[in-house]
Structure 1
Amino acid sequence: MTRRIPRVYGRGMGGVVEYDERWAEWFEQIRAAIPPGLVVEHVGSTAVPGLVAKPIIDVDVVVQTKREVAPAIDALAIAGWRHRGNQGIDGREAFDALRGLPPHHLYLVVEGSLPHRDHVDLRNRLREHPIDAARYGELKLELAPLLDTDRDAYLEGKAALITELLAAARAHPQLANGQAAED
């Protein structure tokens, strides 16, 4: 039986769609436009093979310290990104998508900050635990119609599961190579 995914375009390209292998290529196009010397990570649902997602690439530009935030904002501005502030999330600076690139959300975060850990821990949990990814995908499909009428309700509807998945990820920390961390 083929699953039919509703095409919900209430916010431009805001519908939830099946995984698209081009998303990795889209991320590479965005990465290539970011000034050299900045660390760039593909986060969000489009970074999880097989997971349904809104076709918008989430990108974290990661700096080592808070002192590096202002120079990184300047470098991104020179490259064409418009800084939008933290949009209510401390430790995360948001930028408008750069025209001419695939749809994306670009964020600047300090390595190890809560926003950075949230993005990376959730991505890694979903990549490493297919059952959790399937649960998350099903919830996103269930909530997708809200994107037409109430984006906040869509986000709130995902919050409890995201909190659960982050807690599970942090209860069993992994090293970068996927090995369990030693106690």
Structure 2
Amino acid sequence: MSIAQKTKVVEVVPYDPEWKVEFNRIREQLLSYVGDLIIMIEHVGSTSIEGLAAKPIIDLDLVMDSYDVLPQIIERLQQYGYEHQGNMGIEGREAFKRQQADGFMKYHLYVCPKDGKGYLEHIAFRDYLRSNPAASQAYAEVKQRLADQHRYDIDAYCEGKTAFVTSILSKAMK
């Protein structure tokens, strides 16, 4: 089962400055687990873009030098209660699910190689929207409309965003 299928209600809320604080809390915890095996941890997804309405779920990319260290990362994260879910159909991105409550707000955890398509797209998309307020506002409107239309269908919500995301990536990945 994918992470997306777990979401019962699609809820897009106004930007909350606490998301940045929460990312840093989660980041510190993860660094204590695997900091020696990774290059960095990036805050990606809509919660990483100041002012952007989003589903209140933090997306984190743990960036590794290469897949050579993935087995060690999987083993280490398992020791701390994370289940490796594979790439869930997206090359260059390995998903992990927390098995028990850890006191943080909801978050999605991915491990990506520094040259992986999933990671590079996450960063390009985030940085483009951070530097283009009009595009960020347009994305907020798309997400709110889709959340209203597909409140109980996360797959339709995600599918509805695809054209917009693809158009941004075509500009951002040049």
Give the counterpart of 2:101 among 99, 102, 107: 99
Q: 1:60 aligns to what?
A: 61
Between the aligned partners of 2:8 and 2:85, the Cα distance in structure 1 is 19
Q: 2:80 aligns to what?
A: 79
TM-score of the superposed pair, with normalisation by structure 2? 0.87
AA at the equivalent of 2:113: V
- Number of aligned residue pairs: give it: 162
Q: Over residues 63-82 of structure 1, what are the superposed CA-to-partner deviations in whole Å (9 max), with x where a residue is unaligned?
A: 01111111111122222212
Q: 1:20 aligns to what?
A: 16
Paired-residue identity, %: 38
Q: What is the Cα deviation at residue 27 of structure 1?
A: 0.4
Q: 1:3 aligns to what?
A: none
Between the aligned partners of 2:65 and 2:24, the Cα distance in structure 1 is 22
AA at the equivalent of 1:169: A
Q: Which ranges in structure 2 are unaligned for 5 or more consecutive residues? A: 1-5
Q: Is the counterpart of residue 156 in structure 1 residue 143 in structure 2?
A: no
Between the aligned partners of 1:146 and 1:71, the Cα distance in structure 2 is 42
Q: 1:125 aligns to what?
A: 128
Structure 1 residue matching 2:21: 3-state secondary structure: helix
Between the aligned partners of 1:149 and 1:28, the Cα distance in structure 2 is 30
Instruction: Tell me, yes or no, if the aligned pair for 2:9 and 2:152 is still in contact at 8 Å.
Output: no
Q: What is the Cα deviation at residue 147 of structure 1?
A: 4.4
Between the aligned partners of 2:41 and 2:80, the Cα distance in structure 1 is 15
Which moves more between the two structures, 37-46 or 53-62?
37-46
Instruction: Tell me, yes or no, if the aligned pair for 1:33 and 1:79 is still in contact at 8 Å.
Output: no
Structure 2 residue matching 1:109: 3-state secondary structure: strand
AA at the equivalent of 1:161: F
Structure 1 residue matching 2:42: 3-state secondary structure: strand
Instruction: Tell me, yes or no, if the aligned pair for 1:109 and 1:115 is still in contact at 8 Å.
Output: yes
More helix by share: 2
Q: Is the counterpart of residue 113 in structure 1 residue 85 in structure 2?
A: no
What does 1:130-149 correspond to in 2, within 5 Å? 130-149=133-152
Structure 1 residue matching 2:173: 3-state secondary structure: helix
Provide the alpha-carbon RMSD of the alignment. 1.7
Q: Over residues 79-105 of structure 1, what are the superposed CA-to-partner deviations in whole Å (9 max), with x where a residue is unaligned?
A: 221211211222211111352222100
The structure with the larger Rg is 1
The higher-RCO structure (CA 8 Å, 6+ apart) is 2
TM-score of the superposed pair, with normalisation by structure 1? 0.83
Between the aligned partners of 2:122 and 2:149, the Cα distance in structure 1 is 23
Between the aligned partners of 2:97 and 2:151, the Cα distance in structure 1 is 21
Q: Which ranges in structure 1 are unaligned for 5 or more consecutive residues? A: 1-9, 172-183
